[in-house]
């Protein structure tokens, strides 16, 4: 009994220090930009669970809806017709249609890439596909659809897919794949795609210079491992790749993604389980990467943006994380992550799913609400 009480005391102390954010990187006060510095307008309305917004080089704007529809904004107007030719999407809970992006040489090849959940209630996983984007008088359609990659991360749950991706300068793709919620310990194994960052060619194949390409028992697509559910990934200056990641109850993170690195989940975490139970007694240990900052309590990060535009020159080089639980954009200077963070759009009191920079340098966000979803445009206040 004495040993049991001492163990319980250690667990409670560890949990309390984690929840309080004591001695943790990036923990600090959160300020707010004065709302008079920017103005907000509704750019598009009437969306159903919008998940991602992306600009094509021909001027069209695509918005994915988690329910499996791809919407088109043309000349500033959200068209009533949806884009035809979208692949079959498995939709339940967090499963659905995720990100859409144009190939870096879209003007030459017309390719757009999509991530989505596919399968059944008993067996489903993450997929990456591409198709040729064909504008029409009525809207647009996808042709020559081909499945490029299917993650070896099959689950009966409908949670933690990741599904975000970014093109690197060599036109390879970094794709996030979550650990399926019920498969957390698989994130530490290299024989599956649960809880991994994956690097693929633009044809969906593993490049030969991936860190585990020739490692026996490891899947060659793996770039990094030990992730929970990373919901944003961006390429910043000097080739640095940042990713934000959901913790459980606390322990949301921003990480610098490195090839071959182990980001620790679930061996180390700054959070606890939703029940309050301890996941791990360790917040850090040898052989695992620490985040440049973590959010405890959780903000529930969604997408991530690295700002390079001219509309807000004072915001260049900052990271913007959409936040679902705290209903805001959380802004961080990656060069000084331990310094005060800032909050934008809290006055809206709405869940923010996606944040992106448009070709005009303005900031666009996708919101989720009881009355549907919107695209909001954030511009400087003259």
Digit-coded pLDDT (tens) for 354-377: 999 999 999 999 999 877 899 999
What's this model's pTM, rounded to 2 decimal places?
0.91
Confidence grade of residue 337 (pLDDT, cut at 50, 70, 90): confident
Q: Give, in order, the Cα–Cα distances in Å from 374 to each of 25, 45, 76.
A: 34, 5, 13
Strand partners, 343: 32, 330
CA torsion through residues 294, 298, 301, 306, sign: negative
Domains (ranges, CATH) in the chain?
2-380 (2.120.10.30)
Q: Could you please report the per-residue DSSP string of 194-228?
A: TTEEEEE-TTSPPPTTSTTTT-TTS-TTEEEE--S
322-344 average pLDDT score: 89
Q: Do residues 350 and 372 touch, judged by C-beta distance below 8 A?
A: no
13-27 average pLDDT score: 35
Size (the chain), residues = 382
pLDDT at 239: 95
Annotated catalytic residue: which of 118, 160, 183, 246? 160
Q: 187 — phi, psi (to 5°)?
A: -65, -20
Give the residue among 208, 196, 167 at the shortest CA–CA distance from 261.
196
Q: Do residues 175 and 115 touch, judged by C-beta distance below 8 A?
A: yes
What pLDDT, in 10s, does the model give residues 58-109?
999 999 999 999 999 999 999 999 999 999 999 999 999 999 999 999 999 9
Distance CA 247, CA 263 (A): 12
Give yes or no: 160 in active site.
yes
Give the residue among 175, 166, 114 at the shortest CA–CA distance from 145.
114
- Quick one: the chain helix, strand, coil %, rounded to 5? 10, 40, 50
pLDDT tops 80 at residue 338: no
Q: To the nearest whole percent, how much of the chain has pLDDT over 90?
A: 85
- Start-to-end CA span in the chain (Å): 68
Q: Give, in order, the Cα–Cα distances in Å from 382 to each of 36, 70, 315, 357, 361.
A: 9, 34, 16, 19, 15
Q: Do residues 127 and 97 touch, judged by C-beta distance below 8 A?
A: no
Strand partners, 377: 41, 364
Strand partners, 334: none
Q: Do residues 129 and 146 touch, judged by C-beta distance below 8 A?
A: yes
- Preceding amide of 301 cis, omega within 30: no
Q: To the nearest whole percent, how much of the chain has pLDDT over 70?
A: 90
Q: How many helices (H) and strands (E) does the chain have?
A: 2, 25
| Residue 213, Cβ density class (10 Å: 0-12 exposed, 13-18 middle, ≥19 buried) | middle
């Amino acid at each position: 009994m004495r040993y049991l009480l001492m163990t319980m005391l250690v667990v409670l102390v560890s949990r309390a220090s984690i929840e309080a954010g004591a001695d943790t990187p990036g923990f600090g006060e959160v300020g707010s930009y004065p709302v008079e510095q920017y103005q907000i307008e509704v750019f598009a309305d009437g969306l159903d669970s919008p998940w991602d917004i992306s600009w094509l080089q021909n001027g069209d704007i695509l918005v994915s809806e988690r329910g499996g529809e791809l919407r088109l904004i043309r000349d500033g107007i959200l068209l009533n017709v949806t884009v035809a030719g979208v692949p079959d999407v498995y939709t339940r809970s967090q499963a659905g249609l995720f990100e859409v992006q144009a190939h870096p040489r879209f003007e030459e090849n017309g390719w757009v890439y999509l991530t989505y959940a596919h399968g059944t209630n008993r067996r489903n996983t993450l997929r990456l596909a591409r198709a040729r984007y064909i504008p029409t008088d009525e809207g647009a359609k996808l042709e020559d659809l081909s499945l490029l990659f299917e993650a070896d991360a099959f689950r009966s749950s409908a949670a933690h897919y990741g599904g975000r991706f970014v093109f690197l300068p060599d036109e390879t793709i970094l794709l996030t794949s979550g650990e399926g919620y019920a498969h957390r310990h698989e994130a530490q194994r290299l024989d599956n795609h649960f809880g991994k960052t994956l690097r693929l060619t633009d044809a969906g194949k593993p490049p030969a210079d991936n860190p585990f390409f020739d490692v026996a028992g490891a899947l060659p697509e793996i770039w990094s491992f030990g992730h929970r559910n990373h919901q944003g990934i961006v390429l910043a200056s000097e080739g640095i790749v940042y990713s934000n990641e959901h913790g459980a109850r606390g322990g949301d993170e921003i990480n610098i993604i490195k090839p071959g690195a182990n980001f620790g989940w679930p061996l180390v975490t700054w959070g606890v389980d939703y029940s309050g139970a301890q996941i791990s007694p360790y917040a850090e240990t040898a052989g695992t990467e620490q985040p440049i900052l973590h959010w405890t309590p959780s903000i529930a990060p969604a997408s991530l943006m690295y700002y390079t535009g001219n509309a807000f020159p004072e915001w260049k080089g900052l990271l913007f994380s959409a936040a679902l639980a705290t209903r805001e954009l959380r802004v961080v200077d990656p060069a000084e992550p331990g310094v005060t963070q800032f909050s934008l759009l809290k006055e809206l009191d709405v869940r923010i799913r996606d944040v992106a920079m448009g070709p005009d340098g303005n900031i666009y966000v996708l919101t989720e609400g009881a009355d549907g979803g919107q695209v909001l445009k954030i511009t400087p206040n003259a």
